[in-house]
Chain A
Amino acid sequence: MKTRYLLSVLMLGCGVAQAQDVFPSRSITMIVPFPPGGVADTTGRPTAAALEKVLKQPVAITNRPGAGGAVGNAAVANAKPDGYTVLMALSSISVIPEADKLFNRKPAYTLDQLAPVALISADPMILVVHPSLPVKTVKEVIALARKQPGELSFSSSGVYGALHMPMEMFLHAAKLKMRHVPTTGGGPAITQLLGGHVTMTAGGPAAITPHVKAGKLRTIVTWGAERHPNYKEVPTFKEQGMDIVYYIWAGMFVPVATPEPVVKVLRDAVRQAVNDADFKSQMAKVNSPVNYLDAPDFAKYVDADAKRLAAVVKVVGKVGN
């Protein structure tokens, strides 16, 4: 213990000299804006572990949950742009400022305060229905919804949340009306469907797989651009003639003013990290296939996604008005 303190006192003395060292010269903090055990966390931890190997510096996870990720995202957006604070964000990062705009709130952060570093994973959503519902295809879902307008219902993880957005995309594209039952998270949303209290929901592959295998839920269609490797039999919306795509993704960001050379080091490190064997097996275990994109492509990806989502938020408008 004592040596540790002595060391930190010594480091204090040479702090000035170290500032000119190559990045990174000390430990990096990765902010995860969700509690331990969430998708951002189970993606962030293997990434941090793999980054440690590449950067030869500790990468420590700090969970800063709150307000659907807004607290942690804002913390990084306003952090010192030195590369020592990075963010593992989910796709909700672009919806939160849009919702703030909608409600005339002072946004906690804006998307242009953050610079994308790399996309780590992306999961397409899959539409699942309660097995008692007499439908097997999207066409049948649409037909049933037309026959009973406003009678079918879906659960979500909360308004403007990751499960609400794709459903609204679908409803808007097919010009349908359904009852929306928001819940407090992805787990409760599926629980409502399993209990038959709603008729359908959008779910990530990892969350729905055990229930689909047990015959408690039926898959209909996926929001993926192509068919999911574990769900080869589930068609995409595109195949069904609807141009809607939605993924829940996880990616790394830094404050926008972070110097280019530092970002470069981080980008290179992530590129090596995603090929790490331990990292790959860990991600496979949590059913989040690695879907790596480097900063330029990721920036385009975020842009396109943000535009799509902003459009949906506008279409939905304020709920309950």
Chain B
Amino acid sequence: MAEIPAGPAQDTQDPEKGGLKSDRVSGLVLLALAGLIAWLNREFPLGTLADPGPGYVPLLLAVGLGVIGLLVALLGGRSEALRDIRWTEARRAAVILVACVALTFALERIGYRLSVFAFLVFFLGVVERKKPLAVVLVATGFSLASFHVVAILLGVPLPRGPWGF
């Protein structure tokens, strides 16, 4: 399998060259998230140190996240530049996510077997452009076989569509 960009970025460039740094962005996003959580948290009583209420620990954690986010942003001068992050796979990733959302949405409306069949036909036929015969075989086989194992052998009541299928 291909090499996956993971772990910290190698700082091959000089600090502050190459424009906005990725850590500056992610740090600020975390800070904003912490702010949002702290704001949402205001409806819960804080209690006291001796008797912490439901809002106590979340506020503590939100403050922690905010501080760390800020530090990540401040100390992130040597991280990878934002524009150096390559988003080559982003388009495909978006397609995959949208298809998954569609499948999840369809699951309880048109039933498991039909929606999974359509999902696989879409991926194998439209996205990956496989031979129609293979597409139909895999999609039919997978949807029926997985339904049989999970719904009938394991007894999970998988959703059936309005046509009972």
Contact = CB atoms under 8 A, between A and B. Distances in A.
A1 interface: yes
17 contacts: A1-B148, A8-B165, A9-B165, A11-B164, A12-B163, A12-B164, A12-B165, A15-B164, A29-B157, A62-B157, A318-B45, A320-B45, A320-B47, A320-B51, A320-B53, A320-B54, A321-B53
Nearest to A62: B157
Interface in B28-51: 45, 47, 51
B163 A321 contact: no
Contacts of B165: 5, 8-9, 12
A58 to B, nearest CB: 11
B164 A8 contact: yes
A5 B152 CA distance: 13
Which 10 pairs show the lowest CB-CB distances between chains A and B? A320-B53, A8-B164, A62-B157, A12-B163, A12-B164, A320-B47, A8-B165, A321-B45, A11-B164, A320-B45
Contacts of B51: 320
A100 to B, nearest CB: 15
B94 to A, nearest CB: 30
A182 to B, nearest CB: 12
Nearest to A7: B164
B157 A60 contact: yes
Contacts of B54: 320
Contacts of A9: 165
Contacts of A1: 144, 148
Q: Which of B47, B51, B144, B164 has most A Cβ within 10 Å?
A: B164
Interface residues of A, number: 13
Contacts of B144: 1
Interface of B: 45, 47, 51, 53-54, 144, 148, 157, 163-165
Nearest to A4: B152
Interface in A1-50: 1, 5, 8-9, 11-12, 15, 29
Interface of A: 1, 5, 8-9, 11-12, 15, 29, 60, 62, 318, 320-321
A5 B47 CA distance: 59
A8 B47 CA distance: 58
A29 B54 CA distance: 37
A11 B157 CA distance: 19
A103 to B, nearest CB: 10
Contacts of A60: 157
A34 to B, nearest CB: 16
A265 B148 CA distance: 32
B52 to A, nearest CB: 8
Contacts of A15: 164
A29 B144 CA distance: 22
Nearest to B113: A5
Contacts of A320: 45, 47, 51, 53-54
Given A8-B164, A9-B165, A12-B163, 10 more contacts: A1-B144, A1-B148, A11-B164, A12-B165, A29-B157, A60-B157, A62-B157, A318-B45, A320-B47, A320-B53
B107 to A, nearest CB: 15
Contacts of B157: 29, 60, 62
A1 B144 CA distance: 10
Contacts of B163: 12
A318 B54 CA distance: 11
Nearest to B164: A8
A185 B144 CA distance: 39
A11 B53 CA distance: 56
B125 to A, nearest CB: 23
Nearest to A318: B45
A171 to B, nearest CB: 18
Contacts of A318: 45
Nearest to A64: B157
A17 to B, nearest CB: 14
A56 B47 CA distance: 57
A62 B47 CA distance: 40
Nearest to A11: B164
Contacts of A8: 164-165
A9 B161 CA distance: 12
